[in-house]
Chain A
Amino acid sequence: GDSVTQTEGLVTLTEGLPVMLNCTYQTIYSNPFLFWYVQHLNESPRLLLKSFTDNKRTEHQGFHATLHKSSSSFHLQKSSAQLSDSALYYCALRSNNRIFFGDGTQLVVKP
């Protein structure tokens, strides 16, 4: 069945270093939408970025991701982590009219 895998439960970084959060997915649907949602402490999840175009970079608020259908991946990246980036990040897949979330990656950015 359809699923999303986020391999890291916790990522701890020093401020200024690059961020990469992994996301892979599984679906038989040929045109999936992929999303990244971010949830800051004591807040609700909100959309960070989304894409359905193969091999096209999508950017928002300093983060970017590229959907690669060949490898079923949609990794989230940022060139330089900020303290305010500390949050829980969810990768999600929309396939055949359903949305599937990964288990989430907690990003902690330290000074």
Chain B
Amino acid sequence: EAAVTQSPRNKVAVTGGKVTLSCNQTNNHNNMYWYRQDTGHGLRLIHYSYGAGSTEKGDIPDGYKASRPSQENFSLILELATPSQTSVYFCASGGLGDWGGAETLYFGSGTRLTVL
């Protein structure tokens, strides 16, 4: 079973502070993704990566940076956190898995971020 681990599970930050969300995968997948989940908006893509050293902007990248220092690790960075960034953040890695065909996403357990 594919394994994606996120840390921390919960985080409370202050407005203007820096927040780093970490993600580690042991699937040896090239692709990794950061999503945020908000009621009424579903899963929205923030940043993604095709491999170590690469990051790409997703649909809502403003206010976020990403870093992929290795195949296994993908971080999401909020340099100046704002209350509008209060959300649940999911990391995912993408691979063919047991299904073949198109890439399947394997999600981590999520990080609940509250910015006060």
Contact = CB atoms under 8 A, between A and B. Distances in A.
A34 B43 CA distance: 16
Contacts of A44: 90, 107-110
Contacts of B106: 46
Interface of B: 33, 40-45, 90, 94, 97, 99, 101-110
B107 A50 contact: no
A50 B104 contact: yes
Contact of B101 (A43, A45, A50, A90): A50
A52 interface: yes
Given A35-B104, A50-B102, A101-B42, 11 more contacts: A9-B40, A44-B109, A44-B110, A45-B90, A46-B106, A47-B97, A94-B102, A94-B103, A99-B94, A103-B40, A103-B41
A9 B43 CA distance: 14
Contact of A102 (B42, B107, B108, B110): B42
Interface string A85-101: 00000100010000101
27 contacts: A9-B40, A33-B102, A35-B104, A37-B105, A43-B109, A44-B90, A44-B108, A44-B109, A45-B90, A45-B105, A45-B107, A46-B107, A47-B99, A47-B105, A50-B102, A50-B104, A52-B101, A90-B42, A99-B45, A99-B94, A99-B105, A101-B42, A101-B43, A101-B44, A102-B42, A103-B40, A103-B41
